[in-house]
Structure 1
Amino acid sequence: MPVTRQLDHDPESCEEYGYGLGAPDGILLLRYRSSGGLTFGESRDDFLHQLYWSPDGVLATLHGSSIRFTGPGEAFWVRRAVSHEVRAGDRQTVYRICLREVPPALNALRAGPATIDDEAARLIETIARRTCDETTALTARRRILTGLAAPHTVPPSPDVHGTGFALTVARALSHDPADPTRLDEWAEHLRVSVKTLQRDFVREFGMPYTRWRTRLRLRAARVLLDTHPVTKVAHKVGYASPSAFITAFTKEYGHTPGRHGGHAHRPPSTHAAP
């Protein structure tokens, strides 16, 4: 039988699901949602490998000395006992998957973004339900692990007629929202026309490149505002001045960054072995 419980520290934000606990192929999954931001980590000494994934926002991740963000179709992977920090914005859902086994495709990755395919993402949400039985969950676990891969570093072939180009750019920008590269420069790098790349953005994300980049920067800003001053956040997400950032943020969310309320909630460390 699966182990399912509501954690007491914040009834609004966390549910825990465990399947096959105590076995090497078990899985422990925690689903967080908080009215304020969420922060996991600092100096961690976990007994388990962990995967963080959010279906509705970016994650800011710290491993080493720099902050990076996960992009579309990505999660953050970290091996056991590797110090890290992961932050999410307000009203954002975060899944934290704890494992004993390292997915084969991530064997060389200590910590960093990993791609996650649509089926693996769907199955993560499936097993985070009280109606999910253990047999179904453990079968899903095997498929989740095969749906993870190291991030792609090679641009798609130019004969793909646009498919995948926008996603390549989106992932690169998500890792560094302050990247100033223009659409025409991305198109030249990928050896496609500006029109092809713009069309691919609209097809993939339902909006043109500049609008998508603005939304990315502002969503990334929401993750950082609970722990960083407005001036630093503006620079970190790519705005030339705090005033330009404040204007864009207010236009998008209807209030200034200074009124973006709440303090990041820090869930307790988890050492239970699946």
Structure 2
Amino acid sequence: MSLSGHAVEWVSPTSGVALVGRFSLTRGMRYVTHTHPLHQLVWARSGVVTVGVADTTWVLPPSRALFIPAGVPHTTAGASVADMHSLYLRRERCPALWTVPTVLAAVPMLAALIGHLSGPLPEEARGRAEAVLFDVLEPAPVASAELTWPRDDRAVRVADALAADPTDPHDAAGWARLVGTSERTLSRLFVAETGVGFGRWRTRLRVRAALELLAAGTPVAVVGRRVGYGTTSAFIAAFRREVGITPARCFGS
């Protein structure tokens, strides 16, 4: 059993700072809210994993990992079929890290170290590898489709409708009329409750939907149309602004 009570394949010994767990997730498979006594680093070698903390969800392709401090309640789910690896870091043996969930760049060195630490290693070799691991843990320059759901009923109705159909063309003014409020009020609600304006929130929602399609091998041009973009170039530009890399590079690792 894992530290959260669900089955897990352990692929490292219990010595050292880092324990590595490997999870095979199917699309829609979800672990309910739980906590760990250790810090956790969530990374998918393949596929897309989502992690939720309170009203915020992070969507993690192989190019991104998420650091979750010990004791933070969270959910984990497969947005697609995914090979998820979790590094559990003993707090008393590792350097000071972040105090809030933090998106990290899953550089090739990090992927290699996770694989290296998964196997049997002499104590000195494990110590050297763990020291390098902490050297390569760096926040991503752009987050990974971080999406916070609004709470006000009017904004929730808009968010739910867009989640059901990301291609819906209504702008903020159109949605405001549909939910019986003003454009100014709706815009204020999205900023106050999600941290970003309506347009940016919709872009992040579309990127989240796109990541799931890309993980399934759907061509980039098709994905762009399915999430509401008229041209492939417009989709790639919006995706790159949110994730920091192009759709093709997102799954290149």
Tell me how large the CA RMSD over aligned residues is.
3.8
User: Using the alignment, how far apart are the partners of 1:28 and 1:119 within structure 2?
Assistant: 17
Q: Deviations over 1:188-215 (max 9, x none)?
A: xxxxxxxxxxxxxxxxxxxxxxxxxx99
Amino acid at match of 1:57: G
Q: Deviations over 1:17-55 (max 9, x none)?
A: 2242xxxx522111122456543451x232111111111
Counterpart of 1:197?
none
Classify 1:99/1:137 alpha carbon distance in 2 versus 1 (closer, same or farther; 3 Å). same
Choose which of 113, 118, 134 in structure 2 pairs with 1:128.
118
Residue segments in structure 1 that go unaligned for 5+ positions in a row: 1-8, 153-167, 181-213, 224-237, 241-274
CA contact (8 A) 1:70 1:175 kept: no
Choose which of 118, 121, 125 in structure 1 pairs with 2:108.
118
Of the structure 1 ranges 44-53 and 134-143, higher mean CA displacement relative to structure 2 is found in 134-143
Following superposition, which runs of at least 4 residues in structure 1 exceed 6 angstroms of deviation? none
Choose which of 40, 51, 56 in structure 2 pairs with 1:66.
56
Counterpart of 1:143?
132
User: Using the alignment, how far apart are the partners of 1:215 and 1:67 within structure 2?
Assistant: 13
Q: Deviations over 1:126-151 (max 9, x none)?
A: 2223x544433332122112111123
Classify 1:128/1:96 alpha carbon distance in 2 versus 1 (closer, same or farther; 3 Å). same
CA contact (8 A) 2:22 2:83 kept: yes
Amino acid at match of 1:30: G
Higher relative contact order (CA 8 A, sep 6+): 1
User: Using the alignment, how far apart are the partners of 1:215 and 1:108 within structure 2?
Assistant: 26
Counterpart of 2:21?
30
SS at match of 2:72: coil
Q: Deviations over 1:118-173 (max 9, x none)?
A: 212111012223x5444333321221121111232xxxxxxxxxxxxxxx5xx55x
CA contact (8 A) 1:27 1:138 kept: no
SS at match of 2:133: helix
* Pair 1:17-2:9 in alignment: no
Classify 1:52/1:40 alpha carbon distance in 2 versus 1 (closer, same or farther; 3 Å). farther
User: Using the alignment, how far apart are the partners of 1:215 and 1:81 within structure 2?
Assistant: 29
Map 1:234-273; keep pairs closer than 5 Å. 239=227
Q: Deviations over 1:58-96 (max 9, x none)?
A: 221111203221245321111111111121245421111
Classify 1:222/1:61 alpha carbon distance in 2 versus 1 (closer, same or farther; 3 Å). farther
User: Using the alignment, how far apart are the partners of 1:119 and 1:15 within structure 2?
Assistant: 21
User: Using the alignment, how far apart are the partners of 2:208 and 2:35 within structure 1?
Assistant: 31
Residue segments in structure 2 that go unaligned for 5+ positions in a row: 1-5, 148-162, 168-205, 216-225, 229-253
Map 1:133-212; keep pairs closer than 5 Å. 133-152=122-141, 174-175=145-146
Percent of counterpart pairs with the same letter?
16
CA contact (8 A) 1:55 1:93 kept: yes
CA contact (8 A) 1:19 1:28 kept: yes
SS at match of 1:149: coil
